[in-house]
Chains A and B, each alone.
Chain A
Amino acid sequence: MQPRHTSDDTRRAREFEAYVAGAGGRLLHTATLLTAEAHGDNPRARRLLTLALARTYACWDRLHGEDPYDHTRQHLATRFARGAWHHHGGLLRSRSRPAGPLAALTPQERLVLVIRLYEGVDGEQTAALLGLPVERVRTVFNRAMANVLRPAPRPAPPVGGVKAVPS
């Protein structure tokens, strides 16, 4: 009994290592986009991804041909959706300044935008993955697109210009 377990463990560890080596970069990029952290300094994204990967590792033998990438992405999304509330300007923790291209969006807008565009999942599957109605996903996606494409607000020059005109 014991030798079989050990060989199972090593096989699983080897397969899992190959999987992380292949998909880790892309998944970490997804996680970093979700948490809107800077690319060099993304502790939250790393933690999120590590926990999602640990879940995938624990279920590795029960995947039965299912894509492990989908599994990890699903965990990443649900864990982020559940955890976002706590990070949304919590009282105790000082929130780190959001960075990256999606800094101006809310966590839910980021989630939908990243799943739809960066991960390339279509609207209905996104809704199923996030447990939201399709209509809601479409609304959030359109709002996120509008927000991310809106030119960044530049408050200083217009104010200066307005002041300069009357004087």
Chain B
Amino acid sequence: MSRISREATVRRMLEQSPPSVPPDLHVEAVRRGTRILRRRTLARRALWLLLLAMTVAFVVWAVTARPWVEPPSETTPPLTGW
């Protein structure tokens, strides 16, 4: 049997007797799909909130700690009286 006819035989075998589609397939898929969408929205919102909270925390820390100001020198005593 040639390759083409063998494939045609198997294809015929696969195509016989299709199953009947359950009537609630669409409804169930929409229900689950909506749940996935809702979960995704919640996750995205939570991530944005986290990002916002981290930004606020960083700004507050930066304003209070002022890391860009050079700290006063502690190693050398101030050179006075000469």
Question: What's the tally of chain B residues with a CB closer than 8 Å to chain A?
Answer: 28
Of A16, A40, A114, A145, the residue contacting B6 (CB under 8 A) is A145
Interface centre among B14, B15, B16 (most CB of A within 10 A): B14
Q: Which residues of A contact B (CB under 8 A)?
A: 13, 16-17, 20-21, 24-26, 28-29, 32-33, 39-40, 42, 45-46, 49-51, 53-58, 60, 101-102, 113-114, 117-118, 145, 148-149
Residue in A25, A29, A57, A117 whose beta carbon sits within 8 Å of that of B29 in the complex = A57
**19 examples of A-B residue contacts, CB within 8 angstroms:** A16-B29, A16-B33, A24-B25, A28-B18, A40-B19, A40-B20, A45-B19, A46-B22, A50-B28, A53-B25, A54-B35, A57-B37, A58-B36, A102-B14, A117-B10, A117-B11, A117-B14, A145-B6, A149-B9
Q: Which residues of A contact B6 (CB under 8 A)?
A: 145, 149
Q: A55-B36, A58-B37 known; A39 and B18 CB under 8 Å?
A: yes
Q: Contacts A28-B21, A46-B22, A145-B7 known; A118 to B15 CB distance under 8 Å?
A: yes
With A40-B20, A118-B11 known, 7 other A-B pairs at CB within 8 A are A16-B26, A25-B18, A50-B25, A53-B33, A56-B33, A118-B14, A118-B15
Q: What A residues does B45 contact at CB under 8 A?
A: none
Judged by DSSP, the binding face of B is helix
Contact of A57 among B9, B22, B30, B40 (CB under 8 A): B30
Q: With a CB–CB cut-off of 8 A, which chain B residues contact A56?
A: 29, 33
B30 touches A16 (CB 8 A): yes
**Complex-state Cα separation, A1 to B18, whole angstroms:** 44
